[in-house]
A and B are shown apart, each in its own frame.
Chain A
Amino acid sequence: MLRRFSALMGKDIKLVVRHHHLTIVVAVAVLYALLVRFFIPADLAVEPNLVIWDRATTGAIAHWYRETQPGRTKVVDTETAYGAALQDANRVGVKVTGNQIPEKLELTFQGFEGRRLRRLLEATLSFQVTAMLGGAPPGFPATILRPGEGAEQPAFNLSLVPVLVLFEAAMLGMLLSAVLLFGEKDEQTLRAYRVSPGGPAEYLLARSLTMSILALISAAVLTLLTVGPATNWPVILAVVFLGSMTLTLAAMVLANLFRNLGQFYVTYFLTMLVLMLPAAVYFQPGVRLPFIDLLPTYPLVYALREAYFPTGSPGVMARAVLQLLATLAVVLPLAILTFRRQLVVKDV
């Protein structure tokens, strides 16, 4: 069993190298790193949507924002409406009090907005108020709704790293493992394996382990070239390894339903779309999708974020590792069983 497994690993690693998969994976990691380092801005000035509750009688601030930026401004006039509007995690609240003229502006942040964004908002408001009052701007006492989240907001370009690592581990791993499988179907070498004492377990394990090694290499390259060597390696490597194992196993079972890459393509694409949803949520923290946290990519991306940019909640990482382990424990036997059945009824 162990001998077979290592023979299969040796074979897979040779194939991965000789089919230039290793080169592709490293090249993509370097390309991503170049994008992050040189092409994606460190700061993306995303202007927030505003909820304005203007209690100063003139309503000058509300008026100004409604006139100039109608698309991202919501004006409310009761405390309840203000609170309700702030349930939307993409909004920043501005409460204006005063008599005739705005005297005090209280800001309410969700917690994950970047520092730069806050300063930008304060600067605009300060400019407006100064213009209206013709004098010094008031202070901006701020409330933070979800303190902790985004306490250490990373630069925008670096904040992409967890998603890129996920993308390469998931997408390339799944695609390349399918490519190897279809190669073996095409060459009919899988048939030769099937008349040996080797079973689906060692075959699948060797394949997913090979792919996980590729994923680890790509994660390491990308991390070193972007975040640098001083980071939480154990967690990064552990979650990439577990995530890649789970995803390649799933990819093998899915791919095995098809004869070639052309037939598998649509399924692969749809699967990737679903698996990448957690990445979308990662960029839009306000979006809440049901069951999304059951996808293996969900704990993966959040654990990576916590590992790269700690917010002081290591529980996220521990939970992610446990969840990935649990998912793998379910997916592995399922994959072996399905693979065995698929191979027996189909002549591949």
Chain B
Amino acid sequence: MIKVEELLHSYTGNGRYAIAGVSFEVERGEIFGFLGPNGAGKSTTQKILTGLLPVQAGRVAVAGQDMRRPARSLFNRIGVSFENPNAYRKLSGLENLAFHASLYDVPTADPMALLRRVGLAEAAHRRVGTYSKGMQQRLVFARSLLNRPDIWFVDEPTAGVDPTTTQAIKEIVREERERGVTVFLTTNNMHVADALCDRVAFLNEGKIVTVDSPRELKLKYGQKVILVEHRSEGRLKREVLSPLVEGDRVELQRLLAAGQVETLHSQEATLEEVFIKLAGRGLGG
């Protein structure tokens, strides 16, 4: 559904590239996660894919359409949720959705039903200027579903929203996938990515470092470790041992044989660890 080849993008035109040769493909009906540290180029990529920024170099096809010259009708099929909540502050939530719904040539969802789905039914008639940031984020998220898109671009839907809403948003993404929607999901929430995505791409400094399923990535980059607490010479000691390292295995066996082990936990690698390893730094850094 989405095909990107050798995409380059420079904001400054002085040889510095925000996107430095990115290629990937998103299959129909897939949830494709787009991960990477702040400033990696995730939003820039989404803007190019949705026609907000021009294709400077490389090829981008969305639903078979060349994004250098997309037909306006393509926008009947795609939905875009932005990282910044961008709704008319002087209009109510409902007025915002009703206005956008009238822009499409295809049957659209009931704005009130959508507001209910993201928990904004109560606030429907209030001006968006009086919404909290998280409420605005939910509104923009809901707006992107108005035209029941086949291809849905979602940039950081869970940034600044509470855990309950995050859960609700995850649920909605799952439901949309059930409908057969192709989802391009940019997120910095590794739990969301892990729980939802069929595949994720790691972007760093405008380049894709790797693309794979969360499970494969965790196997490839994460390490399974065993956390051991044991008593020796009367003192409690903690050790992190890897079953993959020869010396660690020998040590574990020795501790078990000596009957000194008090607790033993195996720890799964998380996508977060994979992320930190690939990005070379922590989130929010």
Contact = CB atoms under 8 A, between A and B. Distances in A.
B76 interface: yes
Contact of A11 (B47, B88, B89): B88
B182 interface: no
Contacts of B78: 195
Given A15-B88, A191-B52, A197 B72 contact: yes
A60 B227 CA distance: 121
A192 B73 CA distance: 15
Interface in B156-207: none
B148 interface: no
A57 to B, nearest CB: 79
A4 interface: yes
Given A7-B99, A197-B73, A14 B104 contact: no
B275 interface: no
A179 to B, nearest CB: 12
A191 B86 contact: yes
A344 B54 contact: yes
Nearest to A345: B54
B137 interface: no
A189 B86 contact: yes
Instruction: Sort chain A's interface into a size bin.
Output: 20 to 34
B47 A196 contact: no
Interface string A159-194: 000000000000000000000000000011101111
B105 interface: yes
A14 B103 contact: no
Chain B, interface SS category = loop
A19 B50 contact: no
Contacts of A139: none
B230 to A, nearest CB: 57
Q: How large is the interface on B (under 10, 10 to 19, 20 to 34, 35 or more residues)?
A: 20 to 34
B47 A347 contact: yes
Contacts of A199: 72
Contacts of A70: none
A199 B73 CA distance: 10
B68 to A, nearest CB: 10
Interface string B44-75: 00010011111000000000000000001101
B8 interface: no
B102 A187 contact: no
A191 B82 contact: yes
A189 B88 contact: yes
B33 to A, nearest CB: 21
Contacts of A19: 90
A3 interface: yes
A288 interface: no
13 contacts: A3-B102, A4-B103, A15-B90, A18-B90, A191-B82, A192-B80, A192-B87, A192-B143, A196-B103, A197-B104, A198-B103, A199-B72, A344-B54
- For the complex of A and B, list the 9 residue pairs with the smallest distance between their C-beta atoms, beginning with the closest: A7-B102, A188-B86, A196-B103, A18-B90, A195-B80, A197-B75, A197-B72, A198-B103, A11-B99
Given A10-B99, A19-B90, A196-B103, 9 more contacts: A4-B102, A188-B82, A192-B100, A192-B143, A194-B51, A196-B75, A197-B104, A197-B105, A347-B53
